[in-house]
Structure 1
Amino acid sequence: MKSLFLTYALVITYFATTAQVFKPEFNRAILNTPQGSIVELPGFLSKQIPHLDYHKIVLPGPQHVISDDPEYIRIPEAIALQEPVQAGSVRLYVYNVNGVQEPAKIDRKITALIKNTGTAPMHLRMLKYAPQPASTNYYQIGKQGLADYFASTPSATIQVIAPGAVIPIDPRLEKQVVKYDELVHGIYEFVIDQPGQITILQTDPATPGPAALARIKTVLPTKGHSGAGRGVFGVSNYRVITNGVYDTKNGPQQIVVADGERDPWVLGKENTQEGIAKLDGNYGVMYYFEMKWKSTDGKALALVTWNPNGDNSQWCGGMANTMVVSKGKFKEGIIQLPSDRLITKKDPEAILIQLFQPAANGEEQTIRFTYSPPGASCLPTPLVFIPIDQDYKD
């Protein structure tokens, strides 16, 4: 009986606290916030918001190749990644920085190459093409890179690569001069019909990538904590389905992915060392969400995100992302987060992603959105659902 009373008291305390923290004026603030803009919710954002449980299904998808270890290439001419890939589709995520300081900070080129290791001509067709200009504005590169990836459409051009030949995957990287501390960021998705070898290397701006590859014989060792990881990984796409039907009467709840706990890091293989490679952050992995919901109390449902790591100002003082979200108050499509400034900083700042309207008679609806861990931002970036009273009056 004592245990039952204690449980009841805790429940009452929780709902009282929640009601007190989510102040009525937050309704007005959210309703008056444009999509993608920041709304301040002081005292509400917390890692303790209840979690929505979900199931993850690995979807068929491309071989996922990422180059982010070492993140900073300290050697003037070096290979940062070299991995075999099989015929089929490939997603390549390049995330490397010109880190040369000795004997001086010098201009470099960081380029992506593919070699046909098969016995017949290779045909390469680009499906998604999303490089960014080299820059020290890592947050802008991260969110614009995802926006360009989501918006990209397949190319009609087919490149033919002779057996044994090497070509640049992206001619733009071949021409780009990268200054010290600038990030080279590109997300490429393509299909090939022969086995190949992908190389990411740094060289001087005047040397063609294939020529540099011919004279570089070794691959830099991994740094372990220099970046998210490198190698070929076995997961590139998840379908995420929330359990049951969320009801707005149950109050705010959150979905957290890419935290390394509820959603473990994907595993793969790195060609130059034994053992299993781990992709810290699941960067480049696409999450396709489906969530059933209803409103038995007539409330709308706001979807926001925020930066729970903002107090770590050295590395995590900002967060910027891009998502694709289904229709609500605002139209369906790609939305940069935030859309009216570069980053969000920390609590009490939240970014409004979408506001979903309740259906008549509390009928079930389905929310769909696409999420990928944002490059340059600390993880996780929670997705918080907040019931909103649309009839709120001052």
Structure 2
Amino acid sequence: MKKKFNRRTTTLVCILGVCLSACSVLPVSGQKLTPQQNSAILTAKRGGIVELKDFLTEKLPRIEYNKLILPGPQFIISDDPEYIRVPEAIALRENVQPGAVRLYLYNVNGVVEPAKIERKITALIKNTGKTIMHFRMLKYSSQVPSSNYFQIGKQGLADYFASNGEERIRTIEPGQAIAIDDKLEKNVVKYDELVHGIYEFVIDQPGEISILQTAPSIAGPAALKKIKNIIPTSHQNAGRGLFGVSNYQIVPKETYETGKGVAQIIVADGEKDPWVAGIESFSGEQAELAGNYGVMYDIEMKWKSTDGKGLALVTWNSRSANSQWCGGMATSMIISKGKYSEGIIQLPSDRLITKGDPEAIVIQVFPPAKNGEEQTIKLKYSPPGASCLPTPLIFIPVDIE
């Protein structure tokens, strides 16, 4: 996963299992739209790109918020190694308990020796309990392997948000392993192609999750019986292991007022919003999920118009100048109703990626309430695979024409 950000230690205060972190407010930037930029935002298509020359900066004032840990599933991610260089190997193995589980699979066929060969990368669950396991998929996102990582990350999130899971219940005998995703069993993964899946399911027996790479002709459960080598973690990618947080709620400390000017919410930066911690079972060491990929953020912001202006929500690739890996950004979100209808939106919607300044993506425009009453913006976000972080959420007062 492409993740370029500056890291430093951030203190996190936990009280009775609820963690709160505050984002400091930066000096007011005084940024204002030109009439032409205001018009461009209002006339843009939903998710479309507009150019905001001399406007976008990382130094915009930040909105202070509380970050609460919400109840959520056990969370596993497989992204270390990102590139699986060994033809036959296990890239992740973790134990899970009865209940809900979220699994985020992000691995690439990286085999070059003895040659670049086609592989299968698949996800398996083994019943380690003493009675039959019942398995039901709650949410599901599975992409066709591709070297277009931006498209996979963007579409993968959109599909996850839209998924309603499955009604069927699969049964697994004690000691038996099955493929979590039948599509992965059929996919042939060429060299440098990414396998991307987000799975949320519920089980009623303890289990063992494995991600492995093998020959396309070999069934995953059969490969699991014969493959013994587990690739050590390198601590160089997003992360691998079982993590203690899967869902956050972001609640600004104060009602946002349009009269105060432009402001932004920033999550998943590794600074004000630290990376979640977990355990990697093979090494027994603490793991860090650099990027918080797969963690779901429910953001709820109250706002009101104090000067008759509406409110535009935009984002941009704020780290585009950091390195060769940050040349593009693409994501998906769920946003509440405004000028455009409520729902899932791919960003950008009019092309694959946004490159960087002066490009901004218009997520939504919120008209002011006729009586000046307080309104609420709701947004669901998860850090997008393959893109640089963070993804700033910029709130801009706009003149509604």
How far apart, in 2, do the equivalents of 1:277 and 1:309 lie?
Answer: 25
How far apart, in 2, do the equivalents of 1:356 and 1:221 lie?
Answer: 49
Q: Which residue of 1 aligns with 2:180?
A: 169
Q: Which residue of 2 aligns with 1:339?
A: 349
Contact 2:76 2:242 in 1 (8 A): yes
Contact 2:28 2:61 in 1 (8 A): no
What CA RMSD, in Å, does the superposition of the two structures yield over aligned residues? 1.1
Q: Which residue of 1 aligns with 2:31?
A: 18
How far apart, in 1, do the equivalents of 2:359 and 2:345 lie?
Answer: 17
Q: Which moved more, 1:66-75 or 1:235-244?
A: 235-244
Q: How does 1:74-153 map to 2 (within 5 A)?
A: 74-153=85-164
How far apart, in 2, do the equivalents of 1:82 and 1:167 lie?
Answer: 14
Q: Which residue of 1 aligns with 2:199?
A: 188
Contact 2:67 2:248 in 1 (8 A): yes
Contact 1:304 1:350 in 2 (8 A): yes
How far apart, in 2, do the equivalents of 1:157 and 1:275 lie?
Answer: 37
Are 1:58 and 2:69 counterparts?
Answer: yes
Match of 2:209 among 191, 198, 218: 198
Contact 1:33 1:352 in 2 (8 A): yes
- SS of the equivalent of 2:90 reads strand
Aligned residue identity for 1:100: V
Matched residues, percent identical? Answer: 66
- The structural deviation recorded for 1:361 is 2.7
- SS of the equivalent of 2:134 reads strand
Q: How does 1:138-287 map to 2 (within 5 A)?
A: 138-225=149-236, 227-287=237-297
Q: Which residue of 1 aligns with 2:332?
A: 322
What TM-score do you get using the length of structure 1 for normalisation?
Answer: 0.94
- SS of the equivalent of 2:346 reads strand
How far apart, in 1, do the equivalents of 2:209 and 2:28 lie?
Answer: 53
- SS of the equivalent of 1:280 reads coil
How far apart, in 2, do the equivalents of 1:14 and 1:107 lie?
Answer: 54
Q: Which residue of 1 aligns with 2:381?
A: 371
What TM-score do you get using the length of structure 2 for normalisation?
Answer: 0.92
- SS of the equivalent of 2:222 reads helix
How far apart, in 1, do the equivalents of 2:150 and 2:259 lie?
Answer: 36
Q: Give CA-to-partner distance per residue, 1:328-361, whole Å, 9 cap, x none.
A: 0000000000011000000000000000010123
How far apart, in 2, do the equivalents of 1:334 and 1:14 lie?
Answer: 32
User: Gaps spanning 5+ residues in structure 1: where?
Assistant: 1-12
- The structural deviation recorded for 1:309 is 1.3
- SS of the equivalent of 1:281 reads coil
Q: Which residue of 1 aligns with 2:41?
A: 30
- SS of the equivalent of 2:371 reads helix
- The structural deviation recorded for 1:197 is 0.2
Contact 2:97 2:206 in 1 (8 A): yes
- SS of the equivalent of 2:57 reads coil
Are 1:382 and 2:385 counterparts?
Answer: no
- The structural deviation recorded for 1:205 is 0.4
Contact 2:309 2:399 in 1 (8 A): yes
- The structural deviation recorded for 1:313 is 5.1
Q: Which residue of 1 aligns with 2:13?
A: none
Contact 1:296 1:361 in 2 (8 A): no
Q: Give CA-to-partner distance per residue, 1:82-115, whole Å, 9 cap, x none.
A: 0000000000000000000011000000000000
How far apart, in 1, do the equivalents of 2:183 and 2:206 lie?
Answer: 24
Give 1 or 2 for the bigger CA radius of gyration. 1
Aligned residue identity for 2:109: N
- SS of the equivalent of 1:308 reads coil
Q: Which residue of 2 aligns with 1:311?
A: 321
Q: Which residue of 1 aligns with 2:83?
A: 72
Contact 2:312 2:366 in 1 (8 A): yes
Aligned residue identity for 1:350: A
How far apart, in 1, do the equivalents of 2:92 and 2:368 lie?
Answer: 49
How far apart, in 2, do the equivalents of 1:34 and 1:158 lie?
Answer: 41
